[in-house]
Amino acid sequence: MFKKILVANRGEIALRIMQTCREMGISTVAVYSTADAESIHVKYADEAVCIGPALSRESYLNIPRIIAAAEVTNADAIHPGYGFLAENADFAEVCSSVNIKFIGPTAKMINQMGDKNTAKATMIAAGVPVVPGSQGLVSNLAEAVKTAQNTGYPVIIKPTAGGGGKGMRVVHEENQLEKALNTARSEAEQAFGNSGVYIEKFLENPRHVEIQILSDQHGNTIHLGERDCTVQRRHQKLIEETPSPAVDDALRKTMGDAAVAAAAAINYEGAGTIEFLLDKHGKFFFMEMNTRIQVEHPVTEERYDVDIVREQIIIADGQSIAGRTFTPKGHSIECRINAEDPDHLFRPSPGQLQVFHTPGGHGVRVDSHAYASYVVPSNYDSMIAKLIVTAHTRDEAIARMSRALDEFIVLGVKTTIPFHKQVMHSAVFQSGVFDTSFLESFRYEKS
Ligand code: ADP
């Protein structure tokens, strides 16, 4: 087993990973930018190395500096968390070339799934249903027009290197296609350094349902059910839950089998998530695979009583997961608490926290790196906490989430807490019957 793991990340996920390491008796190394010198992950780790200034490119995305930190501290593995270098095949490759275990899949597997368009082709070959759309990238208007005519409007133009819901464009009519294609391509180039885009049928009123899988190095894959991430704002997840109100046992089995087949198709290793869109008729379509731990993993951990970070470490160590079973129980919901102002179009609200009082009690979990007097930097993503509750039923979980949100007091910056409170009270959310357009018609009452 590894003796020392360097965590190449910041914020709540860095802390989350180190907590598991401590339970497993593994020492930890934090890396940090100058903007994060006062961050808890730095204090919590056994050792910490400053890797550069605030700009991610010069610190959390700087491969040579992170590798140097691992070598100097004699770390034998690196956990990349999510975001930053988590799905960077070069980083995984460099780690393996200097004999440091990258806790995640190999560079080849990351490459196979990182390019979303190639991933779809792999899934078609593996017999997994995919969202209908272009065969390959779309480089000119004629190809775009032809694809859209085949699938029918509306269509969505998506960056092949995309992530975080960025750079996607929905097109309703042929005469909007040229402009949308050009904008999407230049936005993709700017955001991801890759102008490649592909086109899909824009499914109307789908739910976002994803399957968590674990695959070991010996060819065993198991799935840990689904997470429903249908509550989204501008294609970005805000609330996640498991089980999905739209998935019954039969559908869970079919989707789980498809996810396991998807992982098997690339001989996958590690924790991963297969993302699907689910239509009202129970038909589902592969969108993409995330080859890393996801933000919303705690809802699965709570319902299945599993520590996914621990599983990642065990798998990276070469142990087998054959015969392992995880029994689900209850209902789990997560709200992302962001330092954003819901009264003003969710604009970022960085700054110093005056008060940071977290909820507690039965069935409540808070994953956070924040504390009173902590300064939320403007350089990174705005999430300051994840609030996760678990109860016997969905109704009880919603009541518990409302109660926990009422107890959560953050002063000094604006947060999404008041917004989440209203969602929990909404009859539509409570009914469980909604789709990814739910928040477009949700009337948030300004505080
Ligand atoms: P990213 O990797 O940037 O998060 P995804 O491909 O996972 O992008 O899509 C994010 C969200 O955008 C989905 O959860 C869904 O709500 C919406 N979306 C993406 N593709 C489609 C599609 N073909 N039809 C309808 N909605 C889509």
Closest atom of ligand 1 relative to the 208 alpha carbon: 14
Closest atom of ligand 1 relative to the 204 alpha carbon: 25
Strand, helix or coil at 273? Answer: strand
CA distance 278 to 286: 9
Which tokens belong to 195?
């102008």
Cβ of 115 less than 6 Å from ligand 1: no
Cβ of 203 less than 6 Å from ligand 1: yes
Burial class (CB in 10 A: 0-12, 13-18, 19+), 155: buried
Ligand 1 centroid from CA 266, angstroms: 22
CATH architecture observed for domain 207-441: 2-Layer Sandwich (3.30)
Ligand 1 centroid from CA 82, angstroms: 18
CATH for 141-201 (3.40.1380.20, 3.30.2010.10, 3.30.1490.20, 3.40.190.10): 3.30.1490.20
CA atoms within 13 A on the CB side of 39: 28
pLDDT, tens digit, 9 for 90 and up, residues 23-74? 999 999 999 999 999 999 999 999 999 999 999 999 999 999 999 999 999 9
CA distance 32 to 52: 7
CA distance 215 to 277: 22
Cβ of 156 less than 6 Å from ligand 1: yes
Ligand 1 centroid from CA 239, angstroms: 15
Ligand 1 centroid from CA 202, angstroms: 9
Coarse DSSP helix, strand, coil percentages of the chain, rounded to the nearest 5 percent: 35, 25, 40
Cβ of 210 less than 6 Å from ligand 1: no
Q: Tokens 């949700």 map to which residue?
A: 442
Write the single-letter amino acid at 230.
T
Domain definitions of the chain by residue range: 4-103, 141-201, 207-441
Strand, helix or coil at 283? Answer: coil
- In the predicted model, what is the mean pLDDT of residues 102-114? 95
**What CATH code is assigned to 4-103?**
3.40.50.20
E strands, 86-206, are: 101-102, 155-159, 169-171, 197-201
Supply the residue whose CA is at minimum distance from atom 6 of ligand 1.
287
Burial class (CB in 10 A: 0-12, 13-18, 19+), 166: middle
Supply the residue whose CA is at minimum distance from atom 5 of ligand 1.
165
Cβ of 167 less than 6 Å from ligand 1: no
Ligand 1 centroid from CA 249, angstroms: 25
What confidence tier does 218 reach under pLDDT thresholds 50, 70, 90?
very high
pLDDT, tens digit, 9 for 90 and up, residues 188-214? 888 888 899 999 999 999 999 999 999
- In the predicted model, what is the mean pLDDT of residues 411-432? 98
Q: Which of 219, 261, 221, 254 is nearest to 127 (CA)?
A: 261
CA distance 8 to 5: 9
Q: Which of 193, 127, 131, 132 is nearest to 160 (CA)?
A: 193
The ipTM of this complex is 0.97
- In the predicted model, what is the mean pLDDT of residues 115-133? 92
Cis amide prior to 80 (ω within 30 degrees): no
pLDDT, tens digit, 9 for 90 and up, residues 331-358? 999 999 999 999 999 999 999 999 999 9
Instruction: Answer yes or no: 292 catalytic.
Output: yes
pLDDT, tens digit, 9 for 90 and up, residues 137-154? 998 999 999 999 999 999
Q: For residue 240, what is the enclosing H or E element?
A: strand 236-242
Q: How far is CA 395 from CA 139, 192, 303, 310, 364, in A?
A: 48, 41, 15, 30, 15
Q: Who's near 301: CB < 8 A, 6+ residues apart?
A: 307, 308
Asked if 215 contacts 270 with a C-beta cutoff of 8 angstroms, the reply is yes
Cβ of 130 less than 6 Å from ligand 1: no
Closest atom of ligand 1 relative to the 202 alpha carbon: 24
Mutate to test the pocket of ligand 1, among 277, 280, 283 (most ligand atoms within 8 A of CB): 277
Which of 16, 252, 292, 336 is flagged as catalytic? 292
pLDDT, tens digit, 9 for 90 and up, residues 292-306? 999 999 999 999 999
Closest atom of ligand 1 relative to the 203 alpha carbon: 24
Write the single-letter amino acid at 196.
G
DSSP letter, residue 421: H
Ligand 1 centroid from CA 170, angstroms: 10
Mutate to test the pocket of ligand 1, among 235, 280, 381, 437 (most ligand atoms within 8 A of CB): 235
Helices (H), 152-286: 177-192, 249-265
Closest atom of ligand 1 relative to the 133 alpha carbon: 23
pLDDT at 68 (0 to 100): 98
Strand, helix or coil at 38? Answer: coil
Strand, helix or coil at 428? Answer: helix
Supply the residue whose CA is at minimum distance from atom 2 of ligand 1.
163
Closest atom of ligand 1 relative to the 206 alpha carbon: 25
